[in-house]
Structure 1
Amino acid sequence: MKKLVSLLLIFISSSLLARPIEVVTDQYPPYIYYENGKLVGIQVEILSEVMSKIKIDYTLTVYPWKRCLQLMKNQNADLLLGVMKNSDREEFMFFPDEEIVNVSNKLFSLTNEKIKIKSNFQSKTIGTMRGYYYSETFMSYKFLNKMEANSHEQLLDLLFRKRVDYIIGAELVIRYGARKRGLPYYGLNYEFGKSQKHYVASSKGDLATSIVKRFSKELSSFKKTERYRELIKKYTF
């Protein structure tokens, strides 16, 4: 019986590998973004390097973030690039041991003010990305007034058009977007919890899970190389 099950799994895996693995993600510059019609960025290049090393063919498609999550939930995609782990997502995705990057979420404002306690936010509005999970601390603040954006460009517009008092986002992402558009901003010295790990997670299918485990193991080795350090330096400013 065990032999039959093993043979069946081999047959299923071989059949599925006849097609490229479907990886989905959302734009998250400078981690993931389009430049001259081509997807580039820190996570995009790391994904390419590691997938090449484990000899896996894949497609990488950009969707709005909430659609990415729905595709994974319905098992209509194999892997999700650049996702944070929480208990809700663990119900329909497998998260490996090794994260692809660490991201620090901070507040940004048009004024250089100091924020020390959460009571500062009682009468303020914070711009957020629709469907994003920032940290356990941030999500626990039920009193926050939030206004959602569908893209990071919209998020920056909320701030610079003064529709919100602050926006929250990854430091590199907000700095990249603001500098690209020549917009002034201040990164405030207030973080919601520790830096967050972003993963390449898989759907709960056997094949996708086995691939992401191989990916995680190779990623751990790749992060110790000079090539990995070069990629981080390339997109860090």
Structure 2
Amino acid sequence: MKNAEGKPVGKTHKQKLEEEVKRLNINETAIFRTIPWGKKKRSWVSTLTIGKIQVSSYPKDMEKPEDAEESVAKEALPLIQQMIRQKLPVTTDQDLLIKRIKEVNEPRSFSDVKKVREWVEPWGMNGELPLLRSCSVKPDTVSKQEVHLQLPPLKLPCSSFWDIFIRHIEDLSNIYFHLVGDEYSGAYSELATNMELHYMEEKNLAPVKNPQEGELYAASHDQSWFRVELLNVCGHS
């Protein structure tokens, strides 16, 4: 492929994504749903589905549909690459494990780091680590009556080793991670997409009045939506 000046250019994120999906050999294809967005429908957002994985370009909106698809492909590419990393060489050296994970979590390109580092052997976790929990309650199913949402208990994997995506590591006793796999990744992606779509509408953005400790709320941070449990209220503001 060449640009307007006749010089060769690299592959797009969409092309790279389609190649990585083929490497997975899961009989699934990348399906893009791209729609016009905004009051005058002059911008575009895209949602990508690969089996049970869903990724949305929202809140980023693009001037062209192909740019929206490129954006969502860029977001999904690390997720697909993560699923095929088990084919890489492994190590059981815990010192190397901690060093490598810290390097991966530094603000550098994950794609550049993983090319020169060994993959690490999964290792057991105790029940004291913070875990991501999923909930089947959707915003549009909640009635106007007073309700108290409770997260259902997380069903942990039965195997001796867990597939995880580490978000942050302090030491061997303090590790923050997501459980990954067909059950957990699909539930998390579905929840994130549903929240993004729900809070796209202005009517769903009313601020919370008189928040109560112990209740669950939706909070926006860094252009993403999260479920949070209110632990305490400091002051009256």
Q: TM-score range by the shorter chain?
A: under 0.3
- Larger radius of gyration between Structure 1 and Structure 2: 2
Report which of the two has the higher share of strand: 1
What TM-score results when the alignment is normalised by the length of structure 2? 0.26
Q: 1 or 2 for the larger relative contact order (CA 8 Å, sep ≥6)?
A: 1
Report which of the two has the higher share of helix: 1
What TM-score results when the alignment is normalised by the length of structure 1? 0.26
